[in-house]
Chains A and B, each alone.
Chain A
Amino acid sequence: MRQALVAAAAFALAISPAIAQDKPAAAAKPAASKKAAKPSAAPVEEKDAATLEFEKFRAKMIEEGNPAELFEAQGEEMWKTKRGPNNVSLAESCDLGLGVGVVKGAYVQMPRYFADAGKVMDAERRIVWCMVEKQGFKEADLHAKPFASGTYTPEQTSLVTYVAANSKDMKFAVPMKDPHVKDVYEVGKEVVKHRAGPYDFSCNTCHGADGKRIRMQQLPNISTQKGAAMAVLGWPGYRMTGNVMLTHQWRMGDCFRQQRFPEPKYASDTVTALLTYMTANANGVTYTGPGIKR
């Protein structure tokens, strides 16, 4: 495990300048002149050198021990330990939809509707809700610095990683028959289309068609099952750029940033609606567990 982390750090250092400039050293040839200046779906199967290098590296790391496992282990410990002002464990108090304390298979069936909260919630939001309602942690504290940076990893990130790992090899099955979930799904679909801000961007500007890229980064078409699968697999993920464990909630914030939107509040309805839309579109696809992201 330690070895894998050290290797991860070395790799991230090697590739991060390229990533930071959105400019991996690439080997793709420009299209022939005849095709130029016409709207065309450029070939997307060809991968640039950095992508290939990364994929090799990811395979090796997963073999040696995915760094996400470190956070999974920490999350398991936290889940089972009596904590917080109320001195209770999540294992004995938190219902992720399949009964109090049941973790197996819970991640792939969220977002789902929770009657006790009166809301549809994704895994991270539900965990935060349990930490506040059951363990007595202060919501403001959990919201203050919700995503990892530097050497800091929020507790809820480790907990999400633990819960997610317990759905590995299971199929996404967001309960779309529940009218609450269906309703939030439809609202999410509207958020995805909403163009605003100085650049008139919506999620669909970048993720609304097959085979598009920003620079060399592939953009999943989140309206299709295949694209939605690309969008949800591997989250939560250990990110090489920065060496941090990040959740799907974090990714939504970073895309809103690129969209030139303001910041979505942590664990808000809007983020849940997006995660509901994408995860339900991936229903039927097998979850591969917490991943490694570039």
Chain B
Amino acid sequence: MKTTARNSLVAMAMIAAAPAAFSDSDHRAKALVMMKQDFVTKGQATADRIFEDGLQAICNRTGNQPPADITKRLEADQMAGVKYPADGKLMGDWKEGEKIAQSGRGFTWTDEPGLPVGGNCYNCHQIAPKETSFGTVGPSLFHFGKLRGNTADMQKYVYSKIYNAKSYNVCSEMPRFGHVGALRPEQIRHLVALLLDPESPVNK
């Protein structure tokens, strides 16, 4: 798992600075020791994946609700790590985006290691109307661009949300696709087009 050292350090520093608020309960401490013994590497899913990075640790220790000041700093820190395509273009091809949104492969011990992985988007979101097999862990994104527009700001929001969902909602249940290297910038911009392009079936 790729986590930038910088992000971890900021979060870790926060844990160190506020020990009382973030100390582990007895049962959680026991659970951590237990899990450390009970997992083994299988395929690409290495045993060390059960260890938290700094952000995960703060979310885990605060029931996904860190204090407001810490939330702000962590979100800013996650946002600072968002990388944009070199040419600055945030809208790609919605047809490519649809393919990425459909695919659920990647990172499990039965998946082949390496890129590209899928976006898993339909696992959690309603998106284009033709796809009726969609999950509901996340909100519906149908008519997203129609409702929100596709200004430069909106493009930037959607791009950075997909790149790192935690930069807006620190303990979001949505993965940090760009941050962990699951999706590359040019793939993310195809997804931006899927959601925002007026030609995309999402906005028809």
Contact = CB atoms under 8 A, between A and B. Distances in A.
Contacts of B47: 262
Interface in B42-87: 42, 45-53, 55-56, 59-60, 63
B173 interface: yes
A190 B31 CA distance: 6
Contacts of B189: none
B175 A38 contact: no
B92 interface: no
Interface stretch (A103-111, A159-167, A198-206, A241-249): A198-206
A33 B122 CA distance: 17
A35 interface: yes
B14 interface: no
Q: Describe A's contact surface by its main secondary structure.
A: loop
Nearest to A219: B137
List the 4 closest A-B pairs by CB distance, nearest first.
A190-B31, A199-B175, A270-B38, A263-B42
Given A193-B63, A194-B60, A206-B137, 15 more contacts: A22-B104, A36-B142, A36-B143, A37-B139, A40-B139, A48-B133, A197-B50, A198-B182, A200-B56, A202-B60, A205-B173, A217-B135, A257-B45, A262-B40, A265-B38
B35 A200 contact: no
A39 interface: yes
Contacts of A136: none
A214 B135 contact: yes
Given A48-B133, A200-B175, A195 B140 contact: no
A41 to B, nearest CB: 7
A26 B48 CA distance: 38
A263 B140 contact: no
Given A35-B140, A196-B50, A262-B49, A214 B123 contact: yes
Contacts of B39: 261-265, 270
Contacts of B40: 262-263, 265
B133 to A, nearest CB: 5
5 contacts: A22-B133, A190-B27, A199-B107, A199-B180, A214-B124
B10 interface: no
A262 B45 contact: yes
Interface of B: 1-2, 25, 27-28, 30-32, 34-35, 37-42, 45-53, 55-56, 59-60, 63, 104, 107-110, 122-124, 126, 129, 132-144, 146-148, 166, 173, 175-176, 180, 182
Interface in A59-82: none
Nearest to A269: B34
B136 A212 contact: yes
A136 to B, nearest CB: 25
Contact of B133 (A23, A33, A200): A23
**Listed residue (A23, A38, A200, A201) with the most chain B CB atoms within 10 angstroms of its CB:** A200
B107 A215 contact: no
Contact of A37 (B34, B51, B142): B142
A257 B34 contact: no
Contacts of B28: 190
A22 B102 CA distance: 10
